[in-house]
Amino acid sequence: MLETLKIRNLAVIDAAEIPFKPGLNVLSGETGAGKSIVIEAISLLLGSRATSSLIRTGCDEAVVEGVFDLASLPQIRQRLADLGLNAGEDGQLLIKRTVHHAGRHRITINGELATLGNLQSLCVGLVDLCSQHEHQSLLKTSTQIELLDRYGKLDDLRAKYRESFEKVRNLKLESERLSQDESARLKRLDFLSFQIEELQAASLKPGEEAGLQQEKILLQSAQGRLQSLDQLRGLLEEGEDGNVLQLLQLAIQKMGDLSQLDERVKPLQESLERALAEVEDTSLSLHRYSKSVDLDPDRLEQVLERLSLLADLRRKYGDDTTQMLEMQGRLESEFQELSRSEERIEEIQKLLESQSTQLRAIATKLSQGRTKASTRLAATVTTELRELNMADAEFLIWLTPADDDLEKYTSLGADDIEFVVRTNRGETAHPIGKIASGGELSRILLSIRRVISDRGGIGVYLFDEIDAGMGGHTAFQVGRKLKAVASHNQVLCITHLPQVASFGDHHLVVRKSAQGKRTITEVLELGKKDRKEELARMLGGAVLTKKSLENAAELLQMAAN
């Protein structure tokens, strides 16, 4: 259930914290007071698209927060875990949406950042919104199937059907792709063969190009490096005017003479002797290095040709040898698949036969379940309609199972469905969209929701002025039906009718007022006395009279009985 709704800077609402309780929560208020903003706020929590036009004039951002109790909704808690979101230990769900002028909209779920897709998938079944605008969806086949399956507790079977349906569809798509025009297949095979041979002939190795680049640098610099080595050797050991080795040897000799006179010079002599040893070792290493320098123009030409080939292949198949090898693997796989397409088509046909048999069996079982459920649902809704002042109405569900032609199957099943109604005795039944008025559609919608609400699986039912265009005894019966729905579920109901509002377990009023140069909308929780006055206002207008107050009290008494 929805425990608390917080709104800040959303349209005409400056700040509001709305408490909701179990049972039937009624929201009333003058037209234009801002009741629709409450609906908008809840819709945002469920994943509706956010636009900056929702932000209150003069503010940078709007914020909506909702706290839900998930005690009776284990499937929502499981979805939190599946999405990798904090499921919480207290069984609560906190959703917060921030809408910013600069477009930096944010969503947090139990304190963690989330995407709009996360929010939308999480909130399926959290709140069931029923409004006049839903009339159009009630006319859709998908909605009618969903309602029937929920009533018949066939959701798991339908999910199993959809999984089987997807398998058959994917097999058909693969078969069609493999059975494409033969000339196009042969052309593709020829082109693939050319590409594969070109890559195979190159004998690519991962990381090869980097090694070749380094080898190219060494080969191109060989002559220069040898010249530098000759110069170094001249400085160290072959200079005509003396070299480092000779100079060090002479210095050591003179240092030895000096140390004979003063022993304190001995460590300095030893230091020079170590330096001489280092220079001799370095000279020897340079000699060995010079022997390793490769003056090989033929090898350089080979390296340059190889790098040119790799550059040409890189333009066609990838940014480096690793990507080119991956491309080679994909091309070889496609070649193998196309080469054995006839064999694969035969395999697919065998799979299609077995999967189609399984799909038909599941579809038949689903159709049988729907047939049984449709009879019970139609009879129960008819009873509900007659209690809503449609005494001669009869609600029917025309369910036509498809034949064995899989081409007629859809992701919803193998059945054609139509909700129909006979509103007057002796008349022919017609689809609800062709015969029912707006008020009648509202009653049909409410009746269906009333029946299905007993099945569970929904957190909150939100009815937005579903009682529009009704009055008198019918409105009173609508209130009674809403009360019945609220016995199993939390219900939020926005209404203009005092007859409906009188059944509320918890009454809130949305009021608009002018404060300075701004319009302020606030949501107030009504006590017993305030509630009677609000019902009197709904009955007789802004000026309360003794009679209207008496009528309000009578309504409350009737609703309580």
Positive or negative, the CA dihedral 387, 393, 394, 395 is: negative
Mean pLDDT is highest, among 85-89, 212-216, 252-256, for 252-256
**Per-residue confidence (pLDDT) for residue 456, from 0 to 100:** 62
Mean pLDDT of 321-328: 90
Per-residue pLDDT averaged across 120-130, rounded?
83
pLDDT digits (tens, 9 = 90+) for 396-419: 999 988 777 888 899 999 999 999
What distance in Å separates the CA atoms of residue 302 and residue 461, rounded to the nearest whole number? 78
Structure tokens at 204: 């690519």
Residue 236, pLDDT above cutoff 60: yes
Q: 152 or 301: which carries more pLDDT confidence?
A: 152
pLDDT category, 194, cuts 50, 70, 90? very high
Indicate the pTM of the whole model: 0.62
Judge residue 491's burial from the number of C-beta atoms within 10 Å of its C-beta, 0-12 exposed, 13-18 middle, 19 or more buried.
buried
Q: What is the mean pLDDT of residues 326-335?
A: 91
Tokens 């579903």, residue located:
466
Percent of residues, the chain, with pLDDT higher than 70? 95
Mean pLDDT of 203-212: 84
Chain position carrying tokens 């599946």: 82
Q: How far is CA 458 from CA 120, 134, 172, 454, in A?
A: 15, 17, 37, 10
* Res 170: pLDDT: 93
Cβ pair 24, 37 in contact under 8 A: no
**Total residues found in the chain within this entry:** 561
Task: Identify the bridge partners of residue 62 per DSSP, sorted by sequence position.
Answer: 99
Distance from the Cα of residue 432 to its chain's centroid: 34
Q: Which two tokens stand for residue 531?
A: 């509630």
How many CB atoms sit inside 10 A of residue 134's CB?
A: 19
Distance of CA 145 to the CA centre of its chain: 24
Q: Which amino acid is at 17?
A: E
Secondary structure (DSSP) of 331-383: HHHHHHHHHTHHHHHHHHHHHHHHHHHHHHHHHHHHHHHHHHHHHHHHHHHHH
Tokens 């006055």 correspond to what residue? 533
Up-side HSE of residue 354: CA atoms within 13 Å toward CB? 5
H/E stretch holding 525 reads: strand 518-525
In this predicted structure, the answer to whether residue 506 has a pLDDT above a threshold of 90 is yes
Cβ-based neighbour number of residue 510 at 10 Å: 24
**pLDDT tens column, 257-288:** 888 888 888 888 888 888 888 888 888 887 78
Instruction: Give the mean pLDDT of the chain.
Output: 85
